[in-house]
Structure 1
Amino acid sequence: MPAGRDACCGTRVSDDLTEDALLGGRVRLLQPRHGFRAAIDPVLLAAFVPARAGESVLEFGAGTGAAFLCLAARLPGIAVTAVERDPELAALAERNAGLNGVDARILAGDCRALPALPPMHHALSNPPYWSAGTASPDAGRRQAAHEDAPLSAWIAALARPVRHKGTVSLVLPAARLAEAVAGLREAGCGSVRLLPLWPRAGVPAKRILLRARKGGRGADEVLPGLVLHEADGAATPASHAVLRDGHAL
């Protein structure tokens, strides 16, 4: 889960950890004080997953659990399986699941080398997407954000356990759109939905949300998108409804 601007300032818990609040305090999140920290990407990703209460959800690259925790806050009762290769972050994700009363199975390991998983209704990921040439000097950020395998391989592994007509959702830089759509189609996913995320009105989208359906054959669609900030930097009412109130996209 790539790091970026913190979703909130956080309260110091120890020399190594802070406790932060997402969705206006509905989600409590323990995370490292330095290095990898959740930004708004996982919150937006969770809002884009069309799950229903009682369905199964798989997340790859879960980090400390921000995305699946936000999804569970909106949809109590979902069955979560989350994979994170950094064992320390996986342990924090497990702690965070308990802290928020979420029943989640946390697996520590490489998502491309997992044993067979049961069929899932939905899968989501905020995958590592920066090239090695832009690698961060911080090891935690580097592992979270910088890819060591093609994006298509990540998508293929994510889509493999998804049942027919289930969905795969991603948050990515806009520059990776063509590559991601090609990877989704190679993985047998179609009926692609694109939702642009504009920093402000009138400027190009830096991030996008993508969703495809396993075995989908319908037409692709560009959704209205979301403007995140007003000209003065304040959150727009629409982004506030998602990031603070937990509305779905």
Structure 2
Amino acid sequence: MEESASTLRPDILETTLLGGRVSLWQPAKGYRIGMDGALLAAGAAGIVNEGRSKAPTVLELGCGVGGVILSLAARCPQVSATGIERDAATFALTERNLARSGGPHRAIHGDIGTGYRSFDLPRFDLVLSNPPYFDDPDTLRAPHELKRPAWIADDGLQAWLDFAQAAVVDGGDILFVHRADRLGDILGGLPKCGSFIIRPIQPFVDKEAKRVLVRAKRLGKAPLRLLPPLILHDDGERKHTPEVEAILRGEAELGW
């Protein structure tokens, strides 16, 4: 008999993504996959579907309960994904979610701050991450304790950037979603990368970008490209713009 969320913990809920194509268990409180993770998966699908590798290997840093990996796998069944997650309770859910999917995906319990070499991993075609957005807990109102690991990067953003560029093959891609005001730190923190492509993410058409998707290529030499922004909301009755609704339903990806 298949496990139900109630057999895990009373605070675990079942969530569906991409119009029901993905089902996963998440905590009722604490970190849950949201818009940033959905856009990360859609952007990763856009990279994978460029078709440079028939069976690309993917590594997600800080994979949470596996929502990004499973969303990417639903869009691109040819991928083989590995996720790294530090929080023990979250990691336990990740393992179960990935096992339910029946795909070739796996999760590793570990801390990004210990560095790529400590994991004895191969290098990957694509490394992606939605890392914690703050380096210092004093820079924001303290989050709920269950959300703290997802919000506070104890080792700093640079540790995540160092891990990513060490873990990707030459010519492979890195994809991060992060705060727009950290764009300079991301570009400067990837000295072995180039061919940067930046997509701003704006809440409304007349509001400044709060997030950015940043794509980089290890040893890339192409000039930096700044793409048109993705607008999340319009002023009508819909919650999201038609483009974003299509992404959330799994009917569209983010191209590059």
Q: TM-score, normalised by structure 1?
A: 0.90
The RMSD of aligned alpha carbons is: 1.7
2:20 aligned residue: 25
2:250 to 237, 245, 249: 245
Cα distance in 2 for partners of 1:207, 1:59 equals: 19
Cα distance in 1 for partners of 2:213, 2:155 equals: 21
2:41 is matched by which residue type in structure 1? A
Cα distance in 2 for partners of 1:112, 1:118 equals: 18
5+ residue gaps, structure 2: none
Residue deviations 1:16-55, cap 9 Å, x none?
1000111111111201111222211111001112125511
- 1:100 deviation in Å? 2.4
1:176 to 182, 185, 206: 182
1:217 is matched by which residue type in structure 2? K
2:96 aligned residue: 95
Cα distance in 2 for partners of 1:161, 1:137 equals: 30
1:80-159 aligned at under 5 Å gives the runs: 80-113=81-114, 114-130=118-134, 131-133=136-138, 134=140, 136-159=142-165
2:202 counterpart SS class: strand
Q: Is the 8 A contact 2:201 2:211 kept in 1?
A: yes
1:8 aligned residue: none
2:57 aligned residue: 56
Structure 2 residue 41 is matched with structure 1 residue 41: no
Residue deviations 1:41-88, cap 9 Å, x none?
111001112125511000000000111111111100311111000111
Report the CA distance shift for 1:137/1:151 in structure 2 as closer, same or farther (over 3 A): closer
- 1:201 deviation in Å? 1.1
Cα distance in 1 for partners of 2:215, 2:5 equals: 36
2:227 aligned residue: 223
Cα distance in 2 for partners of 1:161, 1:246 equals: 30
1:37 is matched by which residue type in structure 2? R
5+ residue gaps, structure 1: 1-10
Cα distance in 1 for partners of 2:234, 2:182 equals: 25
2:26 is matched by which residue type in structure 1? Q
Cα distance in 1 for partners of 2:102, 2:233 equals: 32
Q: Is the 8 A contact 2:199 2:230 kept in 1?
A: yes
Cα distance in 1 for partners of 2:35, 2:121 equals: 28
2:246 is matched by which residue type in structure 1? A
Q: Is the 8 A contact 1:47 1:246 kept in 2?
A: no
1:166 to 172, 179, 184: 172
- 1:12 deviation in Å? 7.2
- 1:137 deviation in Å? 4.4
Cα distance in 2 for partners of 1:246, 1:240 equals: 9
1:5 aligned residue: none
Report the CA distance shift for 1:142/1:135 in structure 2 as closer, same or farther (over 3 A): farther
Q: Is the 8 A contact 2:143 2:151 kept in 1?
A: no
Q: Is the 8 A contact 1:228 1:236 kept in 2?
A: yes
Cα distance in 2 for partners of 1:66, 1:176 equals: 24
Q: Which runs of 4+ in 1 moved over 3 A?
A: 11-14
2:222 counterpart SS class: coil
Residue deviations 1:202-238, cap 9 Å, x none?
1111111000000001100011221111113521111
Aligned residues with identical type, % of pairs = 38
1:160 counterpart SS class: helix
Q: TM-score, normalised by structure 2?
A: 0.87
